[in-house]
Structure 1
Amino acid sequence: MKLYKLLSFSFLIATLTSCTVTENMYVNDNGNGKFSVDIDGSSLMAMAGDQLGDQMGADAKKNIDSTFTFKQLFEEKKDSIAKLSPESQKELKKLENYTVNTKMNGEKKEFLMAFSTDFKNVNELHDVLQSLSALQKLEGAGSPATPFGNGLGNNNSNLSYSYDGKKFTRKALIDKQKLAEKAKDSSADMSKMIFASSSYTIKYHFPKKVKKVSNPSALFSEDRKTITIQYPFTDYMENPDKLNFDVEFEK
């Protein structure tokens, strides 16, 4: 299965059902670390795996364990990318260092998808799902709608992270102009229905003990170095600034 076809097929599964999206971050003492966004759409496989296989054809019935980089995918689609606007090309460029791993097993009723990367500083990171929404443009004008066009990740905000050893901040700034345009989009209600039972979980691992988190819903690990916060996916889509918070560390 070609890389873009696999990615499109995988996203179609993720957007057909309730799924759990987990944003994982591991920060080291020197500020570098690992980051991933993990999507678990196993509930669809459990409920309708056989029917899905019948609808999607032979590829859907195969057990898949695939790993590739966006750099490979962009090489495959370089001619299409060259035709995109500079803005879209810039958005896709943000994904270049990410690795994609997809696991699908019909017998185990399992569907897992992960986008991961290493970083030198947390301020390099961005909203992966937002960048993924730009992939819909690779198909070209007049092409059938792709799974990336259903609104997944397009929450009309700019996400940034900062960490100086004393404080960590996750902050999404809403683009009011894009938000107003989205309000006129008739597909917004459909996206809301699709993601109504999905969740967005943040799980961050720090090298120091956490003193306090500005979000009162945060759960702490026993050693207070890991925090977990769960939100409805509709908050991520409609009110991304609700996922903003600050973390202060013990001295």
Structure 2
Amino acid sequence: MNRITLLLLCVVSFMFASCQFSENIYINEDGSGKMEFSFDASEIMQMGGGELTKGTDEKEIDSTFTFKEIFEQKKDSVALLSKEEQEKLKALEPFSVHMVMSEEKKKMNFDISTDFKNANELQDMFTALSALGNLQGKGGAKANDPTNPFSSMGSGGNSELSYSFNKGVFKRTVKVLDKEVQKQLQDSLGQAAMMFGTSKYKLKYHFPRRIKSVSNENALFSADGKTVTIEYGLMEYMTDPEVMNLEIVLED
């Protein structure tokens, strides 16, 4: 197994079984900024995640790479996907990944990050991440799969996620497309409810000015008033995505 293939398998494993998620967004005054997803799946390593490196010399990894490199190595698999799925993957090409994995220390986490010119560019991220699972081939990602927290987001899933930042107002908006389908997803969670029962999804947003108000009463603020942090149970997100709708108003 070459290094790129191993890293791809690890990325997909993080997506579908990660324990702690963190969504960090840094916004500049002109609306540009940086987005970073952090995944901590150290619990997976403690429960035998070292099987990922079985038969290889890759017991310790501290590596930075881009999705573009992965897709180049997996171009034959990418070519088998539909044009729509290929376009979703293409959206991931600018993202860089910093991955740290230690079998000895039972540590497994990584950060995915990219710069953006406008917050509206961020709306297709979950669709693209879900599409990455299709590179596994048979048994890859499926829309509205209750064991995959990304699968109901975006095109092909049951909800749409978008971001905006206009005139000092930041919005994170999730819209459930079909309430009945959403109920079916909730009812079919089964084992996933146990898997993600203690998992957390943390939003941490950084702004160029002090924050005037936040629509979520559980929001925590930094000392300078420019950063807001809100933590949700991952099961909240999976059962009711709209619970993570958010509006943040900055001071003039």
Short-chain TM bin: 0.7 to 0.9
- The answer to whether structure 1 residue 154 and structure 2 residue 156 are counterparts is no
d(CA) in 2 for partners of 1:209, 1:123: 22
Tell me: CA distance 1:184–1:230, structure 2 relative to 1, closer, same or farther (3 Å): closer
For 2:96, the equivalent position in structure 1 comes to: 99
Please state whether the residue corresponding to 2:190 is helix, strand or coil: helix
State the Cα deviation string for residues 20-45 of structure 1 (Å, max 9, x = none): 10000111122111101000112333
For 1:228, the equivalent position in structure 2 comes to: 229
- The answer to whether structure 1 residue 21 and structure 2 residue 21 are counterparts is yes
State the Cα deviation string for residues 1-29 of structure 1 (Å, max 9, x = none): 34243222344356456x11000011112
Shift in Å, 1:136: 2.7
| TM-score (normalised: structure 2) | 0.84
Deviates more, 1:81-90 or 1:237-246: 81-90
CA contact (8 A) 1:15 1:194 kept: no
For 2:155, the equivalent position in structure 1 comes to: none
Please state whether the residue corresponding to 1:126 is helix, strand or coil: helix
Shift in Å, 1:109: 3.0
CA contact (8 A) 1:104 1:112 kept: yes
Which aligned runs of 4 or more in structure 1 are off by greater than 6 angstroms? 184-187
For 1:214, the equivalent position in structure 2 comes to: 215
For 2:80, the equivalent position in structure 1 comes to: 83
Tell me: CA distance 1:185–1:73, structure 2 relative to 1, closer, same or farther (3 Å): farther
Please state whether the residue corresponding to 2:43 is helix, strand or coil: helix
For 1:41, the equivalent position in structure 2 comes to: 41
For 1:193, the equivalent position in structure 2 comes to: 194
Percent identity over the alignment is: 40
Tell me: CA distance 1:236–1:101, structure 2 relative to 1, closer, same or farther (3 Å): same
In structure 1, the gaps of 5 or more residues are none
1:155-174 to 2 correspondence within 5 Å? 155=152, 156-174=158-176
Shift in Å, 1:146: 4.7
Shift in Å, 1:61: 6.3
Please state whether the residue corresponding to 1:116 is helix, strand or coil: strand
Please state whether the residue corresponding to 2:191 is helix, strand or coil: helix
The count of aligned residue pairs is: 243
Please state whether the residue corresponding to 1:169 is helix, strand or coil: strand
Please state whether the residue corresponding to 1:188 is helix, strand or coil: coil
Deviates more, 1:51-60 or 1:198-207: 51-60
In structure 2, the gaps of 5 or more residues are 153-157
d(CA) in 1 for partners of 2:244, 2:13: 25
State the Cα deviation string for residues 144-187 of structure 1 (Å, max 9, x = none): x358874231133211111124211000112318x728827996
d(CA) in 2 for partners of 1:87, 1:200: 28
Partner of residue 134 from structure 1, selected from 124, 131, 135: 131
CA contact (8 A) 1:20 1:199 kept: yes
Shift in Å, 1:54: 5.6
State the Cα deviation string for residues 171-225 of structure 1 (Å, max 9, x = none): 0112318x72882799632323221111100000000100000011111111110
d(CA) in 2 for partners of 1:113, 1:38: 6
Q: Letter of the aligned partner of 1:160 in structure 2?
A: S
d(CA) in 2 for partners of 1:147, 1:176: 20
Partner of residue 59 from structure 2, selected from 59, 62, 65: 62
d(CA) in 2 for partners of 1:60, 1:14: 23
